[in-house]
């Protein structure tokens, strides 16, 4: 087992990574907790024992259930069981579950402790770490979007039990590899030389360091969005037939082409992106057929990182990956064409 500390002053916490770490759950709970509300989904074949009386709340599967209605229903359940501010919420599942459980915990009695038990690779290396919680706002009259309502609410601890990965469908594992591929370029670590436990723990460590330096994404935390600008556009353009991690894989390749087009990196570095994403992690690196470059550009223009007529990307360069504002639409379009 490897323990990674997320150093955030009096909100610091440990992330435990390894096979069988679910047995550490009781020890990770706040000492004040007399009862636990376990938030999970019906299809998650992973049970936990918090060592104190608990109730299980199952939420629906799919983005439609990542909603304020789900938060209301959880809070009604918490009210019925009399969950107090000194008790604890435990999220057991992937990113959707921990985002929802975290936001319910952040809102109930204005905030009670939450512990995440992450059961997916994406959750372990990204979603469960760093305190971003929230739900979607359904689009009505053109207004709404993913993760628009939420809170920064750090967990009291996170368990990444690698035993859970054996239960994942292959596509879910592929998605996790898309996020892991991202970490290769954030620090230059040779993650491929590591075994599974060490690799997951190293990704957690990289994320913990970034979150510790910029908890509320005033700057550096945006580096975690490497590959995500095109990825978000691809998810929307394909009506989510491309899953997030698959889209991030293609987004990383696009970011490399854009950095090359802007003279920030050379061909060899672009090739390294292909070797990691397509070679080592065996992920698709090409744009799905039938998508129009103009539509993708328009969708990227709707991304949160837009400034006027210019786009902001996270791009590789001589000083490593950094936030690059002021990218023109022509350059963004040219990189899409050079990728195709």
Cβ nearer to ligand GLY, comparing 132 with 261: 132
Cβ nearer to ligand GLY, comparing 48 with 160: 160
Inter-axis angle of helices 244-261 and 267-274, to 10 degrees?
A: 170
Residue with the shortest CB distance to ligand GLY? 224
CB of residue 200 to ligand GLY, shortest distance in Å? 16
CB of residue 10 to ligand GLY, shortest distance in Å? 21
* Closest listed residue to residue 186, CA positions, set 243, 142, 226, 150: 226
CA 246 from chain centre, in angstroms, equals 13
| 102: contact with ligand GLY by CB under 6 A | no
* Closest listed residue to residue 236, CA positions, set 71, 60, 103, 63: 63
DSSP assigned state of 120 = S
* Closest listed residue to residue 104, CA positions, set 137, 79, 70: 70
Identified catalytic residue from 174, 199, 225, 246: 225
Transcribe 265-323 into DSSP letters.
Answer: S-HHHHHHHHIIIIIIS----SPPTT--HHHHHHHHHTSTTEETTEEEEEE--TTSSEE
Identified catalytic residue from 55, 58, 217, 322: 217
Active site residue 217: yes
Binding to ligand GLY (CB under 6 A): which residues in 212-241? Answer: 221, 224
| 283: contact with ligand GLY by CB under 6 A | no
Cβ nearer to ligand GLY, comparing 126 with 316: 126
What are 267's strand-pairing partners?
none
Cβ nearer to ligand GLY, comparing 93 with 130: 130
Which residues are near ligand GLY by CB under 6 A? 126, 130, 132, 221, 224
Q: Tell me which residues are annotated as active site.
A: 110, 132, 179, 207, 217, 221, 225, 228, 232, 244
């Amino acid at each position: 087992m490897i323990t990674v500390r997320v150093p955030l002053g009096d909100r610091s916490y440990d992330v435990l990574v390894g096979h069988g770490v679910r047995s550490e759950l009781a020890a990770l709970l706040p000492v004040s907790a007399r009862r636990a509300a376990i938030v999970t989904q019906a299809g998650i074949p992973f049970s936990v024992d918090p060592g104190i009386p608990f109730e299980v709340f199952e939420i629906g599967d799919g983005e439609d259930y990542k909603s304020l209605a789900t938060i209301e229903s959880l809070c009604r359940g918490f009210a019925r069981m009399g969950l107090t501010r000194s008790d604890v919420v435990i999220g057991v599942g992937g990113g959707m579950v921990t985002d929802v459980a975290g936001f319910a915990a952040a809102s109930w009695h204005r905030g009670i402790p939450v512990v995440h038990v992450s059961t997916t690779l994406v959750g372990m290396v990204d979603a469960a770490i760093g305190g971003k919680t929230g739900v979607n706002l359904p689009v009505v009259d053109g207004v709404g979007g993913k993760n628009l309502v939420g809170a920064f609410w750090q967990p009291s601890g996170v368990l990444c039990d690698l035993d859970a990965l054996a239960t994942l469908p292959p596509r879910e594992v592929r998605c996790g590899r898309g996020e892991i591929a991202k970490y290769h370029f954030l620090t230059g670590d040779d993650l491929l030389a590591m075994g599974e436990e060490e690799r997951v723990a190293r990704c957690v460590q990289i994320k913990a360091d970034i979150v510790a330096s910029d908890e509320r994404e005033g700057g550096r935390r945006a580096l975690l969005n490497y590959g995500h600008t095109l990825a978000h556009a691809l998810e929307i353009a394909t009506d989510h037939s491309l899953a997030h991690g698959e889209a991030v894989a293609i987004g990383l390749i696009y970011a490399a082409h854009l950095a090359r087009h802007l003279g920030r990196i050379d061909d060899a570095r672009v090739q390294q992106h292909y070797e990691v994403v397509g070679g080592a992690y065996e992920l698709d690196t090409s744009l799905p057929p039938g998508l129009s470059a103009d539509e993708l550009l328009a969708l990227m223009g709707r991304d949160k990182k837009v400034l006027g007529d210019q786009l902001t990307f996270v791009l590789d360069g001589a000083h490593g990956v950094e936030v690059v504002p002021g990218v023109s639409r022509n350059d963004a379009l040219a990189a899409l064409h050079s990728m195709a």
